[in-house]
Amino acid sequence: MTSPVAPPPAAERPLPAIAAQFVCFTLVSIADAILKIIVAEAPSWQIMAMRSASSLLILTPIILVQMARGRATLRTSRLKAHILRAALSAVSVFAYFEALRELDLPVATAILFVTPFFVVMLSGLVLREQVGLNRWIAVAIGFVGALVIIRPGPEGVSLAALLAVLSAATWGAAMVAIRALGKTEGTLSILFYFNLFICLIALAFALPGWQPVPGWLIATILLNAAIQLVAQSFMLMAFRFASASVSAPVQYTQLLWSVAAGWFVFNVFPGPQVFAGAAIIVASGLYLIWSERRPRRSS
């Protein structure tokens, strides 16, 4: 799971943007496959605290060097916004970790594809932004796709599937919360406070039931944190090359990587309803991108 930051307007360079997003979501898929292994070994809050601490361990020397060169600062007047974004993200990451304990990786990945639709809804309901009919149509179609994957029946919906939806919803809320941050805060500042506050939140829940952790698991969590940070840097690079809508469809390659990882690493291949639901979600996302980018007719 990555955290995009909106860039300032610049000349469009679509091919480098698409290449950077491709690398980003390939790395995210690798990180999620590693997470699937990690969550079976320790409580979710403890994993979250250790991963955020690992990210801070990696980020701190980079930040210190950039500060010494006058290229970065941790000064902020938006502390409450950082805390709100971290709290929403902490709920999202915890829910995703718990969902991964039960769901196959491609299923969890496909459900998370509805995150952009929560961003659309919350932008209209919370930020009072004007949301066109085309966006609401995409939201409705996307949820139909999610229902195909979740397959609610007489016995209801599984808790793991609900947690995946909760993760998508709270991550979408975090994306809405970060919009203003991207206008005033630097990339390193956003990454630092994000990991700092998530680490503090996770520690508050993890410390009472902290469990001993073997060395291999510590190393694996550190590797996972490093991969996530590199993935985020490629996403930010893509946003500097072109607007998000240019390379957004590349995100759907993540499902292919998740299917491959589930098949070769976990010996699990998703059922046809996962592909059917994912196809509906992808179609709704592509429709939204097409409708937003087509030329508007002058009245």
pLDDT at 11: 52
Which pTM does this prediction carry? 0.79
Give the number of other Cβ atoms within 10 Å of residue 179's Cβ: 16
pLDDT at 91: 95
pLDDT of residue 151 exceeding 80, the answer is: no
Q: Report the distance separating Cα 273 and Cα 54, nearest Å.
A: 37
Burial 111-124 (b: 16+ CB within 10 A, else e): bbbbbbbbbbbbbb
What length does the chain have?
A: 299
pLDDT at 244: 55
pLDDT at 12: 66
**Residue 94: CB partners within 8 Å, gap ≥ 6?**
44, 45, 48, 202
pLDDT at 1: 59
pLDDT of residue 8 exceeding 50, the answer is: no
Position with higher pLDDT, 27 vs 244 = 27
- Of the chain, the end-to-end C-alpha distance in Å amounts to 41
- Report the chain's mean pLDDT, rounded to a whole number: 80
Please write the tens of the pLDDT for every residue from 105-133.
Answer: 888 887 887 777 777 777 666 656 566 77
pLDDT of residue 154 exceeding 60, the answer is: no
Please write the tens of the pLDDT for every residue from 192-206.
Answer: 888 999 999 999 999
pLDDT of residue 209 exceeding 60, the answer is: yes
pLDDT band at 289 (very low <50, low <70, confident <90, very high): low
pLDDT at 4: 45
Q: How far is CA 25 from CA 96, 112, 219, 235, in A?
A: 17, 13, 22, 8
Position with higher pLDDT, 83 vs 18 = 83
Q: How far is CA 191 from CA 27, 38, 72, 82, 292, in A?
A: 18, 22, 12, 10, 29
Domain boundaries, the chain: 14-293
pLDDT at 43: 94
pLDDT at 198: 94
Contact (CB, 8 A) for 145 and 281: yes
| Residue corresponding to tokens 């966006």 | 135
**Type of residue at 123:** S
pLDDT at 284: 77
Contact (CB, 8 A) for 174 and 88: yes
Position with higher pLDDT, 185 vs 192 = 192
Q: Report the distance separating Cα 105 and Cα 51, nearest Å.
A: 19
pLDDT band at 13 (very low <50, low <70, confident <90, very high): confident
pLDDT of residue 299 exceeding 60, the answer is: no
Q: Report the distance separating Cα 231 and Cα 290, nearest Å.
A: 26
**Residue 17: CB partners within 8 Å, gap ≥ 6?**
238, 239, 241, 242, 246, 247
Q: How far is CA 149 from CA 30, 103, 152, in A?
A: 22, 11, 9
Position with higher pLDDT, 147 vs 219 = 219
**Residue 155: CB partners within 8 Å, gap ≥ 6?**
none
Position with higher pLDDT, 291 vs 267 = 267
pLDDT at 231: 87
